[in-house]
Amino acid sequence: MKHPARWIGLLLLLFAAWAATAPAQTVFTIEDPPVDCEVVDAEPFDGIGDNGPYYTFNDALLGTLGECRSMAEFDISPFSVPPGEVISSATLEVVITEIELYGLGVNGETPESLVVDGYVGNGVEELADFQAGDGNELDAVLTPDPWIGQVLTFDVTLFVTELVAVQETYVGLTVRAGSFGGVWVTEGNGYPKLIIETQPDPTGVAQGDPSAMLFLGQNAPNPFSTGTRIDYVVPSDGAGAIDLAIYDASGQLVRTLHSARQSPGIHSAFWNGTDRSGSAAPSGVYFCRLRCGGTSETRRIVLIR
């Protein structure tokens, strides 16, 4: 077989496409875990974390004088992937319970985004959790206009899958403000919540030619700040030009990444976060659309400056 690595990559891409559309067969949920805490970094404000842990899960705050992070450790030891299935998604859900926060240099302002970092927990609330999770960004959700009762969902699939594979006991997740401002994401009433979904392993189901379908992979990294890679598959029976473009949330064209005929197989494009004029696009949600003939695929992209 020629180019085996490309075929392996193709199969992985098609696995992701199948996983995104197939219904979950098993749903495992952990709500309001007993191991949660808050850590404050303020004396001095140096990214290390000095105050805490406080035995509550509430603040996600970034000010001029420090920050607070809400830490939660989910016991995944009762979970195991059913035979013949794979993890299709893992999400962290938190609920906003207050938006008028003050202290640490924040005067009632709200952040533009919340970010979740991951770390390997040990079932104990401790300051080391702050440093263990620092910088290991898994996902971000934009919060320009948050409201009380708003549920935020973070994608932590890859991180959870890796910890399940090595049989770790605790998934540690820390929620923090991604920019200046703060909100409360208090525990209780089922939150914070980790949801793991599984589905039948598509590698044991799909028997056809994987190159027969148009597929647009999720960009990586996502969210991104300086550049992101986008993988896609041109089908063997594709007709006409391939059009790969970035649009803003209002549907306006921001940048065309490719518009020409391409040979069937796996291709990659790179978006550096600029518009058609070469200027830096603002932070926000964008959409990447791949079109070939009468078929199209779309993926959500988050740009954070």
- What confidence score (pLDDT) does residue 264 get? 81
Q: What is the per-residue pLDDT across 226-246, written as a single tens digit (0 to 9) for each?
A: 888 888 888 776 666 889 999
What architecture does CATH give domain 25-200?
Sandwich (2.60)
Pair of tokens at residue 66: 């420090």
Pair of tokens at residue 247: 């649009």
Cα three-residue angle 122-177-134, rounded to 5 degrees: 40
- Where in the sequence of the chain do the CATH 2.60.40.4070 domains occur? 208-303
- Where in the sequence of the chain do the CATH 2.60.120 domains occur? 25-200
- Edge-to-edge strand order for the sheet containing 151-155? 26-31, 193-200, 85-95, 151-155
R_g over Cα of the chain: 21
- What confidence score (pLDDT) does residue 261 get? 85
Does 275 score more than 90 pLDDT? yes
H or E element that contains 244: strand 242-248
Lowest mean pLDDT among 126-130, 271-275, 290-294: 290-294
Does 151 score more than 90 pLDDT? yes
Q: What is the per-residue pLDDT across 28-68, written as a single tens digit (0 to 9) for each?
A: 999 989 899 999 999 889 888 999 899 899 999 999 999 99
- What confidence score (pLDDT) does residue 21 get? 47
- What confidence score (pLDDT) does residue 213 get? 72
Does 22 score more than 60 pLDDT? no
Q: How many helices (H) and strands (E) does the chain have?
A: 3, 21
What is the CATH number that goes with domain 208-303?
Answer: 2.60.40.4070
Q: What is the per-residue pLDDT across 197-206, written as a single tens digit (0 to 9) for each?
A: 988 765 543 3
Rounded to an integer, what distance in angstroms lies between the CA atom of residue 219 and that of residue 288? 9
Pair of tokens at residue 236: 């063997």
Mean pLDDT computed over 163-190: 93
Lowest mean pLDDT among 62-66, 81-85, 176-180, 203-207: 203-207
Mean pLDDT computed over 94-113: 93
- What confidence score (pLDDT) does residue 2 get? 44
Pair of tokens at residue 280: 């830096």
This prediction has a pTM of: 0.62
Does 19 score more than 80 pLDDT? no
Res. 153 pLDDT band, cuts 50 70 90: very high
- What confidence score (pLDDT) does residue 52 get? 85
- What confidence score (pLDDT) does residue 256 get? 94
- What confidence score (pLDDT) does residue 3 get? 44
Mean pLDDT computed over 87-97: 93
Res. 192 pLDDT band, cuts 50 70 90: very high
Res. 83 pLDDT band, cuts 50 70 90: confident
One DSSP character per residue, 114-126 reads: EEEEEEEE-SS--
